[in-house]
Amino acid sequence: MIHSSYYRPRIFPIKGDTADAEIDRAQAIDPTISLNREKVEEIGRDGIVGYLKKSPTIGYRLTQLEYGNVEFWQKLVNSSTLGANGETGITLSDFKTPYFDVCAYLTDDDGTFRGTALYPGLRCSGFSLTIGDPQDMIERSFDFVGENAKILKDDNKYYIYGRHEAGSGGDDEIDLSAKAPVENPENAGTYMFRVVRVRAGVTTELTRTTDYSYDDGTKVLTITSIQASDVIKYWYSSGTAPDTQFTLNDSDVAGIVGDSVSIYLYIPGSGSPSSSDYIYRLQNVTLDVRFDREDIREIGNREIVARGVRNNTVTVTLGRILEQFTIEDVLRGSDLGVIDVQNLSDEVALIIKIYDENTK
């Protein structure tokens, strides 16, 4: 039996030189898998000809407590800097092309490591921020989509990630003997799940034999045409545990309650929000973002070859006790004696400021 305390989730950004991290404050993880098998029949046959195996459809929903840290957002957009320490914030366009692996290291109640649940190549299809009540914990929810899922067990039970930065002079050999890759029994002769090169900020997935090779005898991964300062990232399965599976985060707050939030609603272009734009008597707030993804395939290849987003939809729900008309006044753009809903503004800005505690 594996309880939630021994289900240890981790995220691995693929684009850019971005490190992996544990997923903190997770409350619920709900993956779904549709195999997409299509039955084939024909005239003149009693029964079926067979089944066509299309790429599976993977859904992955994650719910977290809000804990005032932007690290997980950074991993979702494959960046180490966006949104941190007052630097440029994360915008919806940052979610278009990034992709990532999510895995869970699984240990049973006897302390025996059983294997890894792996969901490779996920992309974000939406997220939400919910404050259900003034005294409720603030929750983040994320929806991811992908095309594959793997169970790693027995000799292949650990998911390993490595990083190598090339020095000068053709530094093209990477010694993996400390945590030796194990052959993928589903694909004879294959040891690497993925090898990626980051050169001058551009990420390229490398092709086996053409761009890289692995020798199981020497335990060496060799990269073709490597240049100084290239960053090589690689993933594989092994019978040897990674250095880090899950690190407890005791530095950030455990969670944040709804009374530690300030919410402002105002018309953009009229300056920064002031105390008059503060929304009182709110009972619940939901900010929901959906991405209309446009992830492209090609004939002759079962993998996604390009990632993007066609359109974004942002929905805000504000629930309040009907005492003051601040929301309607803002939407109308003026404090009028009569507010006609046909004349409400098309552009309104909502700011949700989240603090560590209710002293703000």
pLDDT less than 70: residues of the chain: 1-2, 83-87, 169-170, 270-271, 321-337, 340-343, 345
How far apart (Å, rounded) are the C-alpha atoms in residues 60 and 178? 32
Give the model's pLDDT for residue 343: 66
How far apart (Å, rounded) are the C-alpha atoms in residues 321 and 303? 50
Question: Among the CATH numbers 3.50.50, 3.30.70, 2.60.40, 2.30.110, which is that of 1-157+239-256+294-315?
Answer: 2.30.110
Residue environment code for 218-254, b if the CB has 16+ CB neighbours within 10 A, otherwise e: ebebebeebeeebebbbbbbbeeebeebbeebeeebe
How far apart (Å, rounded) are the C-alpha atoms in residues 105 and 117? 7
Give the model's pLDDT for residue 61: 97
How far apart (Å, rounded) are the C-alpha atoms in residues 173 and 221? 6
Cα–Cα distances in Å, from 230 out to 80, 139, 207?
17, 39, 16
Give the model's pLDDT for residue 346: 74
Closest CA to 191 of 236, 149, 156: 236
Give the model's pLDDT for residue 279: 84
Give the model's pLDDT for residue 2: 65
Give the model's pLDDT for residue 144: 98
Cα–Cα distances in Å, from 254 out to 61, 67, 106?
21, 6, 23
Contact 157, 239 (CB under 8 A): yes
Q: Across-strand partners of 10?
A: 22, 103
pLDDT for 169-195, tens place per residue?
A: 667 899 999 999 999 999 999 999 999
Which structure tokens are listed for 253? 């707050």
Contacts of 311 (CB under 8 A, 6+ apart): 291, 292
Residue 59, helix vs strand vs coil: strand
Closest CA to 249 of 68, 60, 112: 68
Give the model's pLDDT for residue 122: 97
Give the model's pLDDT for residue 81: 81
Contacts of 224 (CB under 8 A, 6+ apart): 172, 210, 211, 212, 213
Give the model's pLDDT for residue 86: 54
Which structure tokens are listed for 31? 């993956």
Through-space distance between the first and last CA atoms of the chain, rounded to whole angstroms: 42
Give the model's pLDDT for residue 251: 95
Contact 295, 304 (CB under 8 A): yes
Give the model's pLDDT for residue 322: 53
Q: Whole-prediction pTM value?
A: 0.91
Give the model's pLDDT for residue 87: 61
Give the model's pLDDT for residue 44: 93
Closest CA to 102 of 119, 126, 123: 119
Which structure tokens are listed for 177? 């003997």
Contacts of 126 (CB under 8 A, 6+ apart): 142, 143, 288, 289, 290, 291
